[in-house]
Amino acid sequence: MPEEKQQSTTEKKKKKKKSNKNRSRPKTWVISLWVVLSLISIMAIGAGIVLYYVWSNLQPTPAGDAKQVTISRGMSANSVADSLEENGIIKNSFVFGYYLQLKDEGARFQAGTYEMKPGMENSEIIAMLNAGDTVAEETIRFTIPEGFTVLQIADKLAADGLINKDKFLDLAENGRSWKEAETVLSIPDNDKLHKRLEGYMFPETYEMKKGSTEEEIIARMLQETDRKLSGLPDDWQDAMEASGRTLHEIMTIASLIEREVVVDEERPLVASVIYNRLAEPMRLQIDAAVQYALDEPKERLMQKDLEIDSPYNTYKNDGLPPGPIASPSLASIEAALYPAESDYLFYVTKKDGSQTHLFAKTYNEHLRNIEKSEKTAN
């Protein structure tokens, strides 16, 4: 083959190869573009699926009957979401938890029992939890009259079906401590006390949640005594210190006043008689203390009752009894702290039905008052 012809053929082959190479480049670019678009499409479809999943799980559940959902104190937002899902209020706690984070919600949710219905909107659920729109708990209500003893309190609560009497009395008599109750700390360690908590469970009308235990009821009543004392005049502790009496002694004096007096105006006067007799010194000779020692109050004490061997018998023992004989009212506590200034050492109840007293400075005057009282008997 001539050299020129061979060279020409070789050049033609090179041109053809180059031409084929140039034609393949557009095809590679299209494939790359197709791959990119495919990936974008797959990602878009995936994102769409995720968004649909989130959207669908944030939709209200099918409507249904109301349910009670309890949110405990200290519960995290995620735990709240779990509880809502368990009760059928939301569809998915995981999605709802992230929804709360996105909305910056959950930190203000309040503890309590809520009545929620399946089918509620998320905004409704969140608003209810933030507002603490809880179901009102079933409650018990009871009234402890002023002057009731621990035994009378136990009898009343047991009759109302609210306590086990034996358990209540055991708690009231043992030497345990009571959290969040301060006044009770003034009770001395004295084995002569008939009922350790006597006088420290405040007489009041109470409303507590249904099912409250004996311990919870006692604790609430002890705390009420603290609350009532905090409402006394600001100088009440100064007045107590000036009297030279401990808080336990003040509560004891207040209980004596409570059981002896009906008319509020006379409480400071009876308090003055007690303080005057203690200062003499004279035995208090208070019938109510003897009644307490008997455990079963009598309409009228007999002479033999005054001989009862008890540290609460103020006819036989000097000074104050070991502790309160009943639950005093705030008026009696104030009278014990702020007694009237008088020279009275005696008093006798009028028998005219007024429930007031005649006061005397001397024993002879007291005897004359007894005669006056008998003459006014109805």
Torsion angle in degrees (nearest 10) through CA of 319, 311, 357, 280: -20
Q: Give 202 or 58, the one with higher predicted confidence.
A: 202
The amino acid at 264: D
Query: Do residues 250 and 370 share a domain?
Result: yes
**Residue 359 maps to a domain:** yes
DSSP class per residue in 192-247: T-SSTTTTTS---EEEEETT--HHHHHHHHHHHHHHHHHTS-TTHHHHHHHHT--H
- Which range (14-18, 205-209, 238-242) has the least confidence? 14-18
Do 173 and 251 belong to one domain?
no
In this prediction, residue 227 carries a pLDDT of: 95
Q: Which of 237, 236, 233, 205 is nearest to 221 (CA)?
A: 205
Take residue 211 and report the two structure tokens written for it. 């099912």
Helix, strand, or coil here: 31? helix
Choose the weakest-confidence range: 112-116, 193-197, 296-300.
296-300
Clarify whether residues 252 and 287 are in a common domain: yes
Q: How far apart are CA 154 and CA 178, in angstroms?
A: 18
**Highest mean pLDDT pick, 91-95, 216-220, 371-375:** 216-220
- Assigned domain for 169 exists: yes
Give the highest mean pLDDT range of 76-80, 171-175, 291-295.
76-80
- One domain for residues 246 and 371: yes
Asked if pLDDT for residue 43 goes beyond 60, the answer is yes
Is the residue at 28 inside a domain?
A: no
Note the pLDDT of residue 1: 46
Are residues 157 and 264 both part of a single domain? no
Residue 36 belongs to some domain of the structure: no
pLDDT at residue 239 tops 60: yes
Tally the domains of the chain: 3
- Both 126 and 204 in one domain: the answer is no
Give alpha helix (H) positions in the chain: 3-57, 77-86, 93-102, 122-131, 150-159, 165-173, 214-230, 236-243, 247-260, 267-279, 287-294, 330-337, 363-375
Q: Among the listed ranges 21-35, 38-52, 93-107, 268-282, which one has the minimum average pLDDT value?
A: 21-35
Of 226, 222, 244, nearest to 320 by C-alpha is 244
For residues 264 and 224, membership in a common domain is answered with no
| Single residue among 171, 199, 230 that ends a domain in this structure | 230
**Same-domain status, 164 and 286:** no
- What range does the domain containing 115 cover? 67-131
Q: What is the pLDDT of residue 344?
A: 97
CATH number at residue 99: 3.30.1490.480
